[in-house]
Amino acid sequence: MVDMTSTVEPIRKPLVLRYPSVAIFLIFLSLFTAIITVLGEGFGIGLISTSFIKTLGKTLCLCLAALAMDLVWGYTGILSLGHMAFFGIGGYAIGMWLMYARTEIIVVDSLAASALPPTAQEISDGIATQIFGVVGASEFPPIWAFAHSLPLQLAAVVLVPGLLALIFGWLAFRSRVTGVYLSILTQAMTLALSLYLFQNDSGLRGNNGLSGLQNLPGLDSVPQSTVSILFFWASALALGLGYLVCAWVVSGKFGSVIRAIRDDQSRVRFLGYSVEAYKLFIFTFTAVICGIAGALYYPQAGIINPAEIAPIASIYLAVWVAIGGRGRLYGAVIGAAFVSLLSTWFTGGQAPDISLGFYTIQWVDWWTILLGFSFVAVTLFAPRGIGGLIDKLTERRAPDRHGADLGPDLGSLREKEANE
């Protein structure tokens, strides 16, 4: 009675072949990287300025963060508005080492001129005075205990965001906080963190933040044009690997479970899955991705301060993913790249002002308003975002919602037929 042809186990093709979008994305990313390398100053013909290479490299890091946001929001339906906090923590973790190691070289050099060889204590005091002079301190706060070690700070890039997400998520999911309440809670988390870091005695230089991060210790002789390309490559590699890992996670049964959680979590519970464990897993996993993205971003930006993890940053992240298209990985990347580059163009003073005779629209001020309107427009008229255009080409079909609204987690593809 069972059709035997349908029971033969299908041969499992590699991920890249099962999901053509993964292969297409990786090809695009490699081509893009190659073209930019050729056009850049470091190893190429120098058509593109170093500062623009840095902008592109930073954009790739933002794309990686957007991937994480898509996983947590577009696939699992948790509208976290605090993921840029993890991004910032990653930046601070790597920034501490960069600042320490570079200051150490300067201090050792300057003390080398003295008659007696400097003691370890003198060197340490010298570094502390250099770094913390701006906040009126001259001793290392305990949080800097590992700043001398690159491996330990690299571990912190992954562990600190992961641990914070694990604790926060455990508390929130265990109490079954969902929907808009969870969004508010994540906003509170990132706001609290940012306010704490603004204090001078937080140990991370208050509102001055960490600076000079673009100078790699011991590589003063290497020009920034080369360093920028190296970071650009690292960012592209991280984005490519991140895309592969995310594609692997959302393919197969795990992806099926998290999409089911997004659409009807109580039903998933009655199937015997611990919804909380899955949410916690995704929340922590994406926090780690954001931490890594931040650690690659800030050496290219050169400076990190607490304003970077203000609540608005995480809201931007959600806007990028919404405009790009939720619930598809390439949508998140397209949205982040498109909107953040556009934002750089508008706010960089390159966009021509529009004169209306009685009033001149200056894009530096009006860009945010334009972005706000486009977010509203996308939510209302094109809930599938830019990625929806690709559906038009490939005719991918989503269930007809019969006009049911998108629910508090805007976007997730859910369909309740309760009222039928």
Choice between 392 and 397, CB closer to another protein: 397
Strand (E) or helix (H) holding 153: helix 150-174
**Residues 170, 281, 345, 367: which binds another protein (CB under 8 A)?**
281
Residue length of the chain? 420
Is there binding between residue 45 and another protein (CB under 8 A)?
Answer: no
Q: Cβ distance 275 to 268 under 8 Å? A: yes
Is there binding between residue 271 and another protein (CB under 8 A)?
Answer: yes
Choice between 257 and 307, CB closer to another protein: 257
Number of residues that bind another protein (CB under 8 A): 41
Nearest-approach distance from CB 248 to another protein, in angstroms: 9
Comparing CA positions, the residue from 53, 75, 121, 95 lying closest to residue 332 is 75
Stretch that binds another protein, among 4-12, 40-48, 93-101, 222-230 (CB under 8 A): 4-12
Strands (E) in 338-380, as ranges, are 354-355, 360-361
Task: Give 361's strand partners.
Answer: 354
Measured CA to CA, the distance from residue 76 to residue 379 in angstroms comes to 18
Q: Cβ distance 85 to 286 under 8 Å? A: no
Choice between 52 and 281, CB closer to another protein: 281
Choice between 6 and 114, CB closer to another protein: 6
Is there binding between residue 287 and another protein (CB under 8 A)?
Answer: no
Nearest-approach distance from CB 7 to another protein, in angstroms: 5
Q: Which residue has the tokens 């949205």?
A: 335
Q: Sort 309 into a burial class: Cβ within 10 Å, 0-12 / 13-18 / 19+.
A: buried
Choice between 107 and 275, CB closer to another protein: 275
Binding mask 382-411 for another protein (x = CB under 8 A): ---------------xxxx-----------
Is there binding between residue 115 and another protein (CB under 8 A)?
Answer: no
- Which residues 224-243 are close enough to bind another protein by CB under 8 A? none
Task: Give 355's strand partners.
Answer: 360
| Residue 306, token pair as written in the block | 């607490």
Give the Å distances, CA to CA, from 334 to 126, 388, 415: 46, 11, 26
Is there binding between residue 326 and another protein (CB under 8 A)?
Answer: no
Binding mask 247-266 for another protein (x = CB under 8 A): --x--xxx-xx-xx--xx-x
| Residue 205, token pair as written in the block | 């230089």
Residues engaged in binding another protein (CB under 8 A): 1-3, 6-10, 12, 249, 252-254, 256-257, 259-260, 263-264, 266-267, 269-275, 277-278, 281, 397-400, 413-415, 417-418, 420
